[in-house]
Amino acid sequence: MAAPVAAIIQAAQQAAQAVFSGISTYLQGKAQSSYYKGLAGTYDTNAYINDLATARQAAYVNEAGASQVHNLREQSQQTEGSIRAAMAAQGMDSGSGSAQAVLSSTERAYREDEALLRAQAEQQAFEINKQGALESANLRSQARQARISAKMAKAQAKFNILGTILTGAAQTGGTIFQGLQNQK
């Protein structure tokens, strides 16, 4: 009679151990799922911050380009004024053919420089936006991957608890069966 009682006690211990082990496994899976969800949130936040930083950086480049164009335009006007003053000092008519050609050539050169400055600023802003969009897309992709990992961790936790309980039940049943066999 002592063998079945010992077997029942041992079986109860195994069952309790299986339940606690199953709960522990499940909680670990839930913790891992929460970690991945938090990681996904971090990636999303970083993508948002990257979008803002990219927009600000591109706007700064465009503003710097506009400032350079403005400074060049002022320099152009000063140069034109200096040329007109020099022509007037020499008694030349600034509306005459050769004088007008010099002024037109100077103005055309400044306009070309302005166009070049604008194009460079636009190209640089485009590159900044392109790189920023790529970085943000990568961060959002990592966020999606982390969310998938969170779902997988949660599902795995459910399978693990089921497996642990089934294994514990099998061991408990084996212990009880062994105790009954020893009684005979």
Task: Indicate whether 1 pLDDT > 60.
Answer: no
Q: Residues near 136 by Cβ (< 8 Å), separated by ≥ 6?
A: 47, 50, 51, 54
By CB neighbour count within 10 A (0-12 exposed, 13-18 middle, 19+ buried), where does 101 fall?
exposed
Q: Residues near 72 by Cβ (< 8 Å), separated by ≥ 6?
A: 110, 113, 114, 117
User: How many percent of the chain have pLDDT more than 70?
Assistant: 95
Q: What are the extents of the domains in the chain?
A: 2-183
Q: 2-183 is classed in which CATH architecture?
A: Orthogonal Bundle (1.10)
114-137 residue pLDDT tens: 999 999 999 999 999 999 999 999
Task: Indicate whether 2 pLDDT > 60.
Answer: no
pLDDT (average), residues 135-155: 95
By CB neighbour count within 10 A (0-12 exposed, 13-18 middle, 19+ buried), where does 97 fall?
exposed
Pair 47, 140: CB distance under 8 Å: yes
Pair 154, 29: CB distance under 8 Å: yes
85-121 residue pLDDT tens: 888 888 887 777 787 888 889 899 999 999 999 999 9
Longest dimension (CA), the chain: 135
Res 4: pLDDT: 67
Radius of gyration over every alpha carbon of the chain, rounded to an integer in angstroms: 40
> What secondary structure letter does DSSP report for 63?
H
42-97 residue pLDDT tens: 999 999 999 999 999 999 999 999 999 999 999 999 998 888 888 888 888 777 77
Pair 179, 11: CB distance under 8 Å: yes
With bands split at pLDDT 50, 70 and 90, how would you rate the model's confidence at 3?
Answer: low
